[in-house]
């Protein structure tokens, strides 16, 4: 696993979990405020796209996860 791949896995997992907890029709519904976490993850992905700064990436690198060579292999 590489840093790029783990960032996508974490983001996707957190978005799906927060949607399951925040949408009223879901059997796992807890509170509509769980959708705020979805917005937070989306905002982080947006700023990462513009600035190439990602706190999760920094943490994963410090834990020794190798960096990927390319995000879109051919």
Task: Express each pLDDT in 5-61 by its tens digit.
Answer: 999 999 999 999 999 999 999 999 999 999 999 999 999 999 999 999 999 999 999
| 56 burial type by CB count under 10 A (0-12 exposed, 13-18 middle, 19+ buried) | middle
pTM exceeding the 0.95 threshold for the entire prediction: no
Q: Is residue 26 part of a domain?
A: yes
pLDDT beyond 60 at 70: no
Evaluate whether residue 46 is within a structural domain.
Answer: yes
Q: Quick check: is 74 in a domain?
A: no
Number of domains the chain is built from: 1
Query: Which range of residues forms the domain containing residue 56?
Result: 3-62
Q: Is residue 39 part of a domain?
A: yes
Do the domain assignments include residue 67?
A: no
Name the band, by pLDDT with cuts 50, 70 and 90, for residue 68: confident
Query: What's the pLDDT band for 72 if we cut at 50, 70, 90?
Result: low
Confirm whether 69 is domain-assigned.
no
């Amino acid at each position: 696993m590489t840093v790029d791949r783990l960032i996508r896995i974490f983001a996707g997992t957190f978005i799906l979990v927060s949607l399951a907890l925040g949408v009223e029709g879901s059997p796992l519904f807890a509170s509509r405020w769980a959708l705020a976490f979805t917005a937070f993850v989306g905002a982080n992905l947006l700023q990462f796209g513009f600035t190439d700064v990602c706190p999760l990436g920094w943490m994963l690198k410090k834990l020794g996860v190798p960096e990927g060579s390319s995000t879109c292999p051919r």
